[in-house]
């Protein structure tokens, strides 16, 4: 008999899961709290243009995402572009793309440049990441790059990604990033290939959701799940609007601490495990401009007195014919769980950000700023403290027929669309092993 599965959360993980489960002949219902699908990869509309809420790109090596574009029938809206990266150091902007740029990077002396290049190469040959998981990231980087390179390059990058938590993270994090970065290069001189979709990253989610609907998946928007209903140790359904809907199994794609709140009757030790998973949040103003600001897709900032840690101009990737001529710039700041900035009002953020924006770009005519829109999210980047691999929650939870998949679990891969989609496949494979063992079939209602 056809099994009916409830998927909680309509982000990339939820929609990928829905597609893959439906492809295995299961009936799927997706519940999404928000007004749209997409979660962190969702969009906002401005002047009739659909824009990514947070900057999103897909790399040429992201094969699972490329496949989703094919399934969603949106490859005709896909464009590959060569983009540039830069570094902002001491009031100046520097190119930082190829190994040649590393070798010529002016803020470093020749020996430091060589050691930086060596670090990138070293990461490609290191395959035992379990060993690196107990090594502090600073120790691993200083050993190969040296203290000077660490201070000038790695420390600002770590601050950008981990805020005050950078001290606690293992070497694995930078190793994963270096490997992802090199994955997009076909040789030492080749340029990074990124791709974008007309009307934003959401286009792939929209295409995939359309395909899912054709396969019989039901999507419920503005549908916050209040509880996963557990009876005799087994997930039997979900509660929404005070009403219980029964399913053969439930798959959660929620951030672990959010899921914990939906499980009042799960075993206490499992709830404690979910609750202790830590995440960085993000404050990410989006500035809509009439004119381009920088020549880079991303300009990393080394100056620690500037609150945002990068300037990301996505319209150096996306052709402005798809943004009504607007130039889109994001000024992100990742926030440790205890960072007070999370409580700042949008006005406070704008005042502080603009103070530093003017310092960085003194000649930029502010009449080119059309809008300054503060976007924020609480559960963005999971933090896996050193030596805590055994604290990653299990895909198959201690509650029978409750499964989970979220960015905490894809470690040591990075929390991006590619890794999330791949993880969705693992969840489906587990379900395929378990379904034949289910003896009772609960008649699902939706
Ligand atoms: C600033 C920024 C830049 C990024 N850049 C990139 C990039 O360039 N490339 C890339 O691949 N990735 C990027 N990412 C990462 C990417 O967005 C995430 O990896 C991905 O969106 C995670 O998808 P998910 O489905 O696991 O989680 P989410 O997107 O968080 O989805 C979870 C969903 O669950 C819903 N939900 C929560 N509670 C409930 C409830 N009670 N009931 C029902 N639904 C609920 C939420 O509304 C949400 O839609 C970026 C992220 C950020 C923040």
CATH number of the domain that residue 369 is part of: 3.90.660.20
Q: How confident is the model at residue 191 (pLDDT cuts 50, 70, 90)?
A: low
Give the alpha-carbon dihedral of 343, 349, 355, 358, to 10 degrees.
Answer: 150
Question: Per the domain annotation, does 92 fall within a domain?
Answer: no
pLDDT of residue 439: 66
Question: Per the domain annotation, does 174 fall within a domain?
Answer: yes
Looking at the fold, whether 176 and 38 belong to one and the same domain comes out as: no
Q: Are 11 and 36 within 8 A, CB to CB? A: no
Question: Per the domain annotation, does 115 fall within a domain?
Answer: yes
Looking at the fold, whether 271 and 216 belong to one and the same domain comes out as: yes
Q: Is 260 in the pocket of ligand 1 (CB under 6 A)?
A: no
Question: Per the domain annotation, does 413 fall within a domain?
Answer: yes
Q: How many domains does the chain have?
A: 3
- Report the SS3 class of residue 148: helix
Atom 51, ligand 1: residue with shortest CA distance: 40
- Residue 115: which residues within 8 A CB-CB, separation 6 or more? 144, 145, 146, 149
Looking at the fold, whether 347 and 363 belong to one and the same domain comes out as: yes
Q: Is 405 in the pocket of ligand 1 (CB under 6 A)?
A: no
Q: Are 353 and 294 within 8 A, CB to CB? A: no
Looking at the fold, whether 324 and 378 belong to one and the same domain comes out as: yes
Nearest-atom number in ligand 1 for the CA of 62 is: 11
Looking at the fold, whether 174 and 112 belong to one and the same domain comes out as: yes
Instruction: Please state, in angstroms and rounded to a whole number, the distance separating the CA atoms of residues 100 and 227.
Output: 54
CATH number of the domain that residue 402 is part of: 3.50.50.60
H-type alpha helices, 285-416: 346-360
Query: Using N-to-C axis directions, what is the helix angle for 172-183 and 137-145, rounded to 10°?
Result: 60
Question: Per the domain annotation, does 65 fall within a domain?
Answer: yes
Could you tell me the two tokens for 33? Answer: 């709290």
Q: How confident is the model at residue 349 (pLDDT cuts 50, 70, 90)?
A: very high
Q: What is the mean pLDDT of the chain?
A: 92
Nearest-atom number in ligand 1 for the CA of 40 is: 29
Q: Are 122 and 174 within 8 A, CB to CB? A: no
Q: Is 39 in the pocket of ligand 1 (CB under 6 A)?
A: yes
Looking at the fold, whether 366 and 227 belong to one and the same domain comes out as: no
Choose the residue to mutate in 56, 200, 259, 329 for probing ligand 1, maximizing ligand atoms within 8 Å of C-beta: 56
Looking at the fold, whether 16 and 54 belong to one and the same domain comes out as: yes
Instruction: Please state, in angstroms and rounded to a whole number, the distance separating the CA atoms of residues 8 and 167.
Output: 34
- Residue 41: which residues within 8 A CB-CB, separation 6 or more? 11, 12, 52, 54, 56, 201, 202, 205, 417
Average pLDDT over residues 327-337: 97
Domain that holds residue 273: 4-79+200-277+386-437
Question: Per the domain annotation, does 89 fall within a domain?
Answer: no
Looking at the fold, whether 66 and 45 belong to one and the same domain comes out as: yes
Instruction: Please state, in angstroms and rounded to a whole number, the distance separating the CA atoms of residues 154 and 302.
Output: 9
**pTM, full prediction:** 0.93
Atom 1, ligand 1: residue with shortest CA distance: 54
Distance 34 CA to ligand 1 centre (A): 12
Distance 282 CA to ligand 1 centre (A): 12
Given a cut of 80, whether residue 89 has pLDDT beyond it is yes
Q: Is 407 in the pocket of ligand 1 (CB under 6 A)?
A: yes
Looking at the fold, whether 248 and 267 belong to one and the same domain comes out as: yes
Could you tell me the two tokens for 250? Answer: 């439930």
Choose the residue to mutate in 41, 57, 252, 375 for probing ligand 1, maximizing ligand atoms within 8 Å of C-beta: 41
Tell me the β-bridge partners of 29.
6, 218
Q: 153, 183, 213 — which closes off a domain? A: 183
Question: Per the domain annotation, does 391 fall within a domain?
Answer: yes
Looking at the fold, whether 272 and 400 belong to one and the same domain comes out as: yes
Question: Per the domain annotation, does 88 fall within a domain?
Answer: no
Q: Is 407 left (phi over 0), alpha (psi -120 to 50) or beta?
A: alpha
Average pLDDT over residues 246-265: 98
Given a cut of 60, whether residue 309 has pLDDT beyond it is yes
Longest dimension (CA), the chain: 70
Q: Is 161 in the pocket of ligand 1 (CB under 6 A)?
A: no
């Amino acid at each position: 008999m056809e099994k009916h599965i409830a998927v909680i959360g309509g982000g990339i993980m939820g929609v990928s899961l829905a597609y893959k489960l439906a492809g295995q002949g299961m009936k799927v219902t997706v519940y999404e709290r928000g007004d749209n699908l997409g979660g962190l990869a969702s969009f906002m509309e401005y002047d009739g243009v659909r824009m990514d809420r947070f900057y999103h790109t897909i790399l040429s090596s992201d094969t699972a995402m490329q496949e989703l574009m094919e399934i969603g029938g949106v490859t005709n809206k896909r464009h590959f572009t060569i983009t540039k990266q830069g570094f902002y150091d001491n009031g100046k902007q520097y190119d930082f793309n190829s190994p040649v740029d590393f070798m010529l990077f002016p803020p470093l002396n020749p020996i430091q440049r060589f050691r930086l290049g060596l670090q990138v190469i070293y990461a490609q040959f290191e395959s035992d990441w379990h060993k690196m998981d107990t090594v502090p990231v600073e120790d691993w980087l200083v050993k190969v790059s040296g203290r000077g390179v660490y201070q000038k390059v790695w420390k600002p990058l770590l601050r950008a990604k981990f805020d005050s938590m950078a001290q606690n993270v293992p070497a694995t994090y930078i190793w994963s990033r270096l490997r992802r970065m090199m994955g997009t290069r076909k040789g030492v001189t080749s340029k990074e290939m990124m791709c974008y979709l007309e009307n934003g990253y959401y286009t792939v989610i929209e295409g995939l959701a359309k395909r899912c609907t054709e396969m019989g998946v039901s999507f419920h928007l503005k549908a916050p799940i209040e509880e996963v209903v557990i009876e005799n140790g087994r997930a039997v359904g979900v509660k929404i609007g005070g009403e219980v809907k029964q399913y053969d199994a439930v798959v959660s794609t929620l951030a672990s601490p959010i899921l914990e709140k939906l499980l009042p009757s799960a075993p206490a030790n499992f709830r404690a495990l979910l609750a202790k998973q830590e995440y960085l949040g993000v404050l990410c103003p989006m500035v809509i401009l009439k004119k381009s600001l920088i020549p880079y897709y991303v300009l990393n900032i080394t100056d620690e007195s500037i609150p945002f840690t990068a300037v990301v101009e996505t319209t150096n990737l996306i052709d402005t014919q798809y943004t009504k001529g607007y130039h889109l710039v994001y000024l992100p700041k990742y926030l440790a769980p205890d960072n007070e900035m999370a409580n700042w009002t949008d006005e406070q953020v704008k005042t502080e950000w603009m103070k530093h924006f003017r310092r960085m770009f003194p000649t930029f005519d502010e009449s080119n700023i059309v809008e300054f829109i503060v976007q924020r999210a609480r559960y963005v980047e999971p933090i896996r403290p050193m030596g805590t691999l055994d604290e990653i929650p299990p895909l198959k939870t201690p509650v029978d027929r409750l499964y989970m998949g979220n960015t905490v679990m894809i470690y040591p891969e990075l929390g991006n669309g590619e890794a999330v989609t791949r993880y969705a496949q693992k969840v489906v494979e587990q379900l395929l092993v378990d379904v034949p063992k289910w003896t009772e079939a609960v008649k699902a209602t939706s």
